[in-house]
Amino acid sequence: MQDMNIRPQERIFRGVASSDGVVIAKAYVFAPWPGEDGFRLPERAIREDEVAGELRRLSDAIARTRQQIQQAQRDLVGKGATRQARILDVQLLTLDDQTFLNEVAAHVRAEKRNVDVVFYNVARKYVMAFSEISDDYMRERAADVRDVLRRVLHNLIGYEHPSLAELDERVVVVAHDLSPSDTAGMHREHVVGMVTETGGPTSHTSIMARALRIPSVVGVASVTEAVHDGDPLIVDGQTGVIIIHPTPERIAEYERKIEEGMKYQALLDTLRDLPAETKDGHAVRLLANIELPDEVPIALAHGAEGIGLYRTEFFFMNREGLPTEDEQFEAYAAVARQCGGKSVVIRTLDLGGDKFVSSLKIPREMNPFLGWRAIRLCLERTDIFKTQLRAILRASAEGNVRVMFPMVSTVQEVISARELIDEAMEELRAEGKAFNENIEVGAMIEIPSAALTADQIALHVDFFSIGTNDLIQYTLAVDRVNEKTAHLYDPLNLAVLRLMATVAHIAHRGDTQTDDVLLAGEPLFRLRRRTSPKRIPVAVCGEVAGNPLLAYLLVGLGIDELSTAAPAISRNKQLVRAISHEEARAIALQALQMDNSQEVRALIVRHLPRLEKVITPAAQ
């Protein structure tokens, strides 16, 4: 007879650290779908006069699925996870795939079988086709297709889908995979950690966990076979370690880590109202990236000096039609009012790429990130663009609002966009509506062509904001969500550093300077001179700005503003207040002369102040 007092042996599993933090809690093994193997549906023959009824059943199941997904989106938006809500747009598009639905209907008519079985067989074929695609990103998106098709099937057969929203105690959710609709309804106070067998840093689980600040480890092979409901677990989202049945000594060790983390956060909280100045008096503005007006109080609570990037795509997604000018004005004005006199940079529509709006009917493209998106789309759909510009201009009467154009690749795009602003101003004047006549206009530098012609673009804007996420991707020709090329996505690559340094240099030049770009000692071309000695500020609003290791280098490169997710603001403030600007400049100049990013990283680590928790394992 087994001794019930024998303690289960501690087991350690390793995966990919996808969301920082440490948690100790019981496991909840989440198995939302019937197993693929052995999954059988009752099959029956149908008569010709039953075909229409079967197809109505399918139509009803699709309508219920659409309602469920839209509710999941609302739940995500309510948590401030707007970007994660957008992921579900792919599922809504799948529900509208007429090719797929026509194939199901054709098989029902031809085979005279109940729609449940036909739908299941056609869906399996589609999922298998996606799963066999060689591109890792597309294979990861196959989870969207699998999720929505299974939901339709379960609505057809009346299967009760378990929900994480029903949990009523602190647990670590352990699953083979978690879809966006699975995680949408869960409560942060109940789901305190997540572990999956699949996924990487760009998987839905990772994105959601970071958005909700839940410790998470993904890619843990066979973990669902080793863990049972109620098993005590430690999830270390810093190192990617999962510990099942930890020993008392191990629990004590991790409890100390959790306590240290809480003390560190308390320390950061004391910096909120202190200036972000280096030891030698150089100021660096620390701003927040937001997507919703509801995020402003959180940003201000973390010490944000303003909003450096207000993404506006949310108003155009997850809805039947396009937003009106008044709807947009109210949202933009709400942010401006909450910020008082602090600046609010509103980025115009950045649709396309991986962000779609069904009502715009953006065509499918072979290379959507290189296609009809952002400023390119806006300059063709001037009706939509002009409406947004009018709303932004009206909001500028409510606070310190600035406007910024995304994905600029040529100076002509900026000129054309500014002409539309002028037209919008004329219309508002004629209507007697208030706006800031001197509203500042900026350009995002996220394409190499924009960085290399920054001197021309600077003639037409008041500020730059470097979008490092795309700048790195386009400069290095690396898909930033492809796991096979993830190691090449390197913010410390010399080409990326030189482009950022060039943009900062051009933005800070005065009228008296004339700089020749030389080739073999001979002038190749001369940087364009501005008509006034105005120095324009440069921000970085990509994820790089939230990494203390890289933020140090950005300050040395001459970046004036760091715009990040709200939680990173206090860490950056601690960093800025601990460093010397002159030393950071000297380190940055050395970095620009080095041969590889490994040397650059080692250089920064040697000189970055050894502050408690400033350099996290993820940063190193």
Closest to 243 measured CA to CA, from 215, 213, 206, 265: 215
In a domain, 616, yes or no: no
In a domain, 43, yes or no: no
Domain range enclosing 118: 48-157
Residues 92 and 197 in one domain: no
**CA nearest to 604, candidates 571, 535, 555:** 555
Residues 23 and 76 in one domain: no
39 part of a folded domain: no
Q: Do 451 and 589 have their domain in common?
A: yes
Question: Is 204 annotated as catalytic?
Answer: yes
Residue among 302, 339, 378, 541 flagged as catalytic: 541
Same-domain pairing of 463 and 530? yes
541 counts as catalytic: yes
State pLDDT tens for residues 186-243: 787 899 999 998 877 656 677 677 767 789 999 898 898 899 999 999 999 888 999 9
Q: Is residue 4 domain-resident?
A: no
Nearest to 180 by CA among 168, 159, 196: 196
Give the C-alpha separation, 198 to 146, whole Å.
14
The CATH number given to whatever domain includes residue 144 is 1.10.274.10
DSSP β-ladder status, 538-540 and 463-466? parallel
Query: What dihedral angle (degrees, nearest 10) is formed by the CA atoms of 75, 401, 287, 593?
Result: 120
Give the HSE-up count for residue 112: Cα atoms under 13 Å, Cβ half-sphere.
6
Co-location of 19 and 74 in the same domain: no
pLDDT value of position 7: 72
Q: What is the pLDDT of residues 415-464, one digit of tens each?
A: 999 999 999 999 999 999 999 999 999 999 999 999 999 999 999 999 99
CATH number for 603: 3.20.20.60
**At 220, which CATH number?**
3.50.30.10
Average pLDDT of span 368-388: 83
Are residue 430 and residue 341 in the same domain, yes or no? yes
Reported as a pLDDT band with limits 50, 70 and 90, residue 357 is very low
Q: Is residue 162 part of a domain?
A: no
pLDDT digit string, tens, across residues 382-420: 999 999 999 999 999 999 999 999 999 999 999 999 999
Percent of the chain topping pLDDT 70: 80
Question: Distance between CA atoms of 292 and 440, rounded to whole angstroms?
Answer: 22
Q: Which residues share a beta bridge with 241?
A: 14, 236
User: Which pLDDT score, from 0 to 100, does residue 512 have?
Assistant: 43
CA distance 253 to 249: 6
Q: How many domains does the chain have?
A: 3
Domain co-membership, 15 together with 118: no
Q: Which of 111, 128, 157 is the last residue of a domain?
A: 157
Residue carrying structure tokens 């069904």:
358
Q: List beta partners, residue 26.
A: 171, 232
535 domain-assigned: yes
Q: Is the residue at 5 inside a domain?
A: no
Q: Are residues 280 and 329 in the same domain?
A: yes
With 0-12 CB in 10 A as exposed, 13-18 as middle and 19+ as buried, what is 148? buried
144-200 residue pLDDT tens: 677 777 788 888 887 766 678 778 899 999 988 887 667 766 787 899 999 998 877
Q: Which of 239, 264, 289 is the last residue of a domain?
A: 264
Shared domain for 131 and 280, answered yes or no, is: no
Q: Which of the listed ranges 123-137, 282-296, 363-377, 507-521 does the model predict with the highest average pLDDT?
A: 282-296
Compute the average pLDDT of residues 553-576: 92
- Choose one of 244, 264, 284: the last residue of a domain: 264
Same domain for 474 and 341: yes
Residue 40 lies inside a defined structural domain of this protein: no
Can you point out the beta strands (E) in 127-209?
Answer: 171-175, 191-196
DSSP 10: P
Task: Give me the catalytic one of 204, 302, 378, 581.
Answer: 204
Confidence (pLDDT) at 211: 66
Is the domain of 124 the same as that of 218? no
Residues 103 and 124 in one domain: yes
